[in-house]
Structure 1
Amino acid sequence: MAEHVLEMKNVTMQFGGVVAVNDLSLEVNKGEIVSLIGPNGAGKTTAFNVVTGVYAPTNGAVYFNGKHIVENYPRGKMKKLYAGTSRGVYTKHIEPTPDVITKLGIARTFQNIRLWKSQTVFTNVLIAKHMRRTSNIFTATFRLNRKEEKKQREETEELLKILGLYEVRDELCTSLPYGLQRRLEIARALATNPSLLLLDEPAAGMNPQETAELTDFIRKIRDDFHLTVFMIEHHMDLVMDISDRIYVLNFGALIAQGTPEEIQKNPKVISAYLGEQE
């Protein structure tokens, strides 16, 4: 039986009267590369935001490596406004912040690159490593954490070597070509030592050559770092080439799931992307 790394159960995210994600249930298994696709506004990034603690879902639950990490149900004014499904199934309120989610082993990148623009490549990755530090104000003041600091700097250099960024380690991140900035953002996520990596449109803005290189890069980091990858992407060549399985959202609802071959032939998916002939 497949080992579930991530499970979303009946997740609904409602903003006022707008249901952005409606009753979404899915699983991502250990070692897989799974893609979440759909037209613009389908609710894909909203689903990522629920998993990573940016949003508390209006209803539903999330499990990570079998651990119950997120749950919510309609409360307050939402009791009357709630337009989603599975009302009454969930009764707990578990709402961790994004830093807690990251420490559990879930890292992500963003649709729009969010590097620390005034910092070098090296510092961008090193700062991400600091979330695993054990030091406090006392040990930092008296430099009692020197061994840990030295180790993290060495680990940062090694990570940059593995990901092909070592030669530009001292450059400002904003001076890098777009493709390398995307790679740096992934490197920063990897610096937190995740077991699950969420990639939100990693190929956005890339040309075909850069996209092909990114495809190989994602496979490499999945294998080298023993990761499970959950990805949002609009580049269908990348999605069909790299995905083990695909979920398709449209207007917040799951309309299809399956292998790339199954998704390519699914009439609901074709209709969602191309529209139906009247």
Structure 2
Amino acid sequence: MSKNNILIAEHISMQFGGVLAINDLSINVGVNEIVALIGPNGAGKTTAFNCITGIYEPTVGKIVFDGHTVIGAFPKNRQKKDFLGTLPEHEIERVSNTPDRITRKGMARTFQNIRLFGNLSVIENVLIAKHTNAKQNVFSAVLRLNSSEEKRMLEESKELLDMQGLIEYKDERAGSLPYGLQRRLEIARALALDPKLLLLDEPAAGMNPQETHELTELISKIRDDYKLGIFMIEHHMDLVMGISDRVYVLDFGKLIAEGTPDEIQNNEHVIDAYLGVVEENA
């Protein structure tokens, strides 16, 4: 593994019964790099995210995060016999981790369908994420022995909301925010986990062109300010091509191209499978 990669996924395959959702996917994300994963609906993009973050255990593959293997899988017995995809030459040692443990290692994500605590305030949503990494136990929390840490987390939460343009809404119910602002709040909550890698699942979904333009600038600012890797799924090609260092393209669960935005936009296979379809429907 290159020391410049925060994430490496090797030979990832995910089979659900008789459906092969991902077949032999290998990708990497640099420490301070913006990488996009694109492809038609149903190509397997969110499934790939779910494998990387531990929501799904892949049928085959290895996830190396920050220099350590966090997930490893290889089919055995009947599962191997029924496997429809491509197996790597060498067996992969099994390593299992739950999503919360992977999050604590420094990997945070947003979801295609917003998952906020809608009845809590905006700032409470961010504070909950801050408490994930809090250095206190039940005893100290009950006796309020860590008031200085509580104050620090509150100030840092306010700074995150200010960065996202949400500070004026800090005491409002999260579920009452307009859709675009809820997206920003979800990003703020992910950043509250102090991640080394931020995964964004269609962050511009439901946004108008102005909101998408503002989000494009925000994602670049997050990378520059926080010095972290960003791996995103996105259908808005202006956003993807405007800020990505590299782009991977999935089609029917198989990687069909990777390269710079310019290389991807001029790739005939990508145009046929995805970009050409978008242009025809525009």
Q: How does 1:122-271 map to 2 (within 5 A)?
A: 122-271=123-272
Match of 1:32 in 2: 33
* Shift in CA distance, 113/267, structure 1 to aligned 2, threshold 3 Å: same
Structure 2, unaligned stretches of length 5 or more? 278-282
**TM-score, reference length from structure 2:** 0.93
Match of 2:75 in 1: 74
Shift of 1:23: 0.3
Shift of 1:227: 1.6
Q: Deviations over 1:163-191 (max 9, x none)?
A: 22111100111221211111100000000
Name the CA distance, whole Å, in 2 between partners of 1:207 and 1:90.
Answer: 47
Shift of 1:142: 2.5
Shift of 1:84: 1.5
CA contact (8 A) 1:233 1:239 kept: yes
Shift of 1:64: 1.1
CA contact (8 A) 1:35 1:243 kept: yes
Structure 1, unaligned stretches of length 5 or more? none
Shift of 1:124: 0.3
Shift of 1:146: 2.5
Match of 1:83 in 2: 84
Does 1:14 pair with 2:31? Answer: no
RMSD over aligned Cα, in angstroms? Answer: 1.5
Q: Counterpart of 2:95 in structure 1: which amino acid? A: I
CA contact (8 A) 1:5 1:64 kept: yes
Name the CA distance, whole Å, in 1 between partners of 2:129 and 2:78.
Answer: 38
Q: Deviations over 1:159-217 (max 9, x none)?
A: 22232211110011122121111110000000000011000000001111111111001
* Shift in CA distance, 261/91, structure 1 to aligned 2, threshold 3 Å: closer
Q: Secondary structure at the match of 1:90?
A: coil
Q: Deviations over 1:221-259 (max 9, x none)?
A: 111111211010001111111111100000000000011
CA contact (8 A) 1:108 1:200 kept: yes
Q: Secondary structure at the match of 2:210?
A: helix
CA contact (8 A) 2:13 2:25 kept: yes
Name the CA distance, whole Å, in 1 between partners of 2:214 and 2:79.
Answer: 45
Q: Counterpart of 2:19 in structure 1: which amino acid? A: V
Name the CA distance, whole Å, in 1 between partners of 2:44 and 2:91.
Answer: 21
**TM-score, reference length from structure 1:** 0.95
Q: Counterpart of 1:166 in structure 2: which amino acid? A: I
Q: Secondary structure at the match of 1:34?
A: strand
CA contact (8 A) 2:37 2:248 kept: yes
Give the total of aligned pairs: 275
Q: Secondary structure at the match of 1:14?
A: strand
Q: Deviations over 1:99-128 (max 9, x none)?
A: 111111110000011110001100000001
CA contact (8 A) 1:11 1:21 kept: yes
Q: Counterpart of 2:163 in structure 1: which amino acid? A: I
Q: Counterpart of 2:178 in structure 1: which amino acid? A: P
